[in-house]
């Protein structure tokens, strides 16, 4: 499967979150057993690139037509670091990050059969920004994100009520008032 992003989204999010912020924080690159559901979806083309260009020892768990990364539990801790995290410098993937990581701290979720763009409470940098600015960025990025999620339903997570809803996907059907 070929996955292509046009990633206007990246530019919109860069106004909220710099690469340096992410390299310093790294919170979204480590997981405990309760939030392993947040590990990024990896498509076969990206899995090949990871093995060839970034991390030859990376191992994956197969799910239908995509993969999840197999992460090692830290000794004596309920903690898993992403294999693609350099603990000094941050993510090694540069502009090749998986979709879930590109759009973080936004998350696409499903609520009552409708896709919603939500804000993860876990990102200290974006959560310190003015909420209006976050909503403006979400509004601009939503179209591209929802379009990608429509053809890649595995990136859509069940709604969690600690995630504020920023944008609700508009109905695709003519005549809808939403």
* 114 class by beta-carbon count within 10 Å (0-12 exposed, 13-18 middle, 19+ buried): middle
What is the smallest separation between the CB atom of 83 and ligand SF4, expressed in angstroms?
A: 7
Nearer to ligand SF4, 32 or 139 (CB): 32
* 129 class by beta-carbon count within 10 Å (0-12 exposed, 13-18 middle, 19+ buried): middle
What is the smallest separation between the CB atom of 178 and ligand SF4, expressed in angstroms?
A: 33
Cα distance between residue 19 and residue 17, in whole Å: 7
Nearer to ligand SF4, 49 or 114 (CB): 49
Nearer to ligand SF4, 82 or 137 (CB): 82
Give the residues lining the site for ligand SF4 (CB under 6 A): 29, 40, 82, 84-85, 91, 93, 97-98, 101
What is the smallest separation between the CB atom of 90 and ligand SF4, expressed in angstroms?
A: 7
Cα distance between residue 138 and residue 111, in whole Å: 17
For the record, the structure tokens of 71 come out as 């992460």
Nearer to ligand SF4, 82 or 109 (CB): 82
Cα distance between residue 140 and residue 167, in whole Å: 10
Nearer to ligand SF4, 82 or 167 (CB): 82
In three-state secondary structure terms, 82 is coil
What is the smallest separation between the CB atom of 108 and ligand SF4, expressed in angstroms?
A: 16
Residue pair 155/149 in contact by the 8 Å Cβ criterion: yes
What is the smallest separation between the CB atom of 29 and ligand SF4, expressed in angstroms?
A: 3
CA distances for 128 relative to 75, 136, 174, angstroms: 33, 15, 39
């Amino acid at each position: 499967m070929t996955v292509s992003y046009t990633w206007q989204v990246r530019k919109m999010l860069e106004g909220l979150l710099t690469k340096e912020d992410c390299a310093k924080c790294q919170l979204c690159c480590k997981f405990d057993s309760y939030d392993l559901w947040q590990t990024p979806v990896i498509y076969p083309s990206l899995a090949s690139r990871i093995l060839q260009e970034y991390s030859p020892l990376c191992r994956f768990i197969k799910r239908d037509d995509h993969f999840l990364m197999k992460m090692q539990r830290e000794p004596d801790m309920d903690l898993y670091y992403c294999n693609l995290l350099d603990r000094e410098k941050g993510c090694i993937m540069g502009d090749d990050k998986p979709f879930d990581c590109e759009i973080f701290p936004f998350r696409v979720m499903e609520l009552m059969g409708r896709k919603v763009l939500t804000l993860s409470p876990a990102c200290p940098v974006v959560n310190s920004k003015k909420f209006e600015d976050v909503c403006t960025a979400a509004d601009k990025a939503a179209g591209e994100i929802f379009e990608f999620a429509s053809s890649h339903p595995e990136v859509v997570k069940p709604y969690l009520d600690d995630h504020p809803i920023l944008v609700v996907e508009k109905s695709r059907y003519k005549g809808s008032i939403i």
